[in-house]
Amino acid sequence: MMRSKYGWVWGATAAAAAAALAGAALGWRIAGKRQTVTRGVTVDRPLGAVRELMQDTDVLAGAVGRPVKVTVQPAPADWGTEIHVEVDRAHDKAARTALRQVKSAIECGQVLSTRDDPAARGPVAEAITNAMRDRLTAGGRP
């Protein structure tokens, strides 16, 4: 640490060391290894029905672009079934999109989309709406 006219200031190496220690304490993988995240969705169907549908995990792996670890378990308080996918952080957005599509397909029988719904907008307003829709539905976050 260094003393400045604004008080004590951490040096760059001290800040990097503190970040590394915090990451290690939180269980993050550091030193070149890929970080993995787990994403999940709750489906309003019984566990047995979802397990039968999710036996082929290639559907999620194909949508994400890599092999994924899928776990299916009952949701708390009898709210249906939870589907969890473990994927590396680089493919997080694709995993969230795939989970949302799987939830729609299981609950509704098809993947719902508002892409071709008729609207009373001009071509410029429709293009803006489509661009915003694509941005918001790709992974669930802007």
Could you say which of 3.30.310, 2.30.30, 2.60.40, 3.30.70 is the CATH number of the domain covering 36-137? 3.30.310
Tracing tokens 């829709």 back to the chain, one arrives at 133
Q: Which residues contact 79 (CB under 8 A, 6 or more apart)?
A: 42, 44
44 falls in which pLDDT band (50, 70, 90)? very high
Q: How far is CA 86 from CA 7, 8, 21, 53, in A?
A: 44, 41, 24, 18
Instruction: Tell me the average pLDDT of the chain.
Output: 75
Give pLDDT, residue 13: 47
Ranking 20-34, 38-52, 112-126, 128-142 by mean pLDDT, the lowest is 20-34
Q: How far is CA 90 from CA 23, 36, 93, 95, in A?
A: 18, 9, 8, 10
Domain ranges of the chain: 1-33, 36-137
Percentage with pLDDT > 90 across the chain: 15
138 falls in which pLDDT band (50, 70, 90)? low
Q: Looking at the predicted structure, is the pLDDT value of residue 78 above 70?
A: yes
Q: How far is CA 7 from CA 1, 2, 12, 64, 129, in A?
A: 10, 8, 16, 48, 49
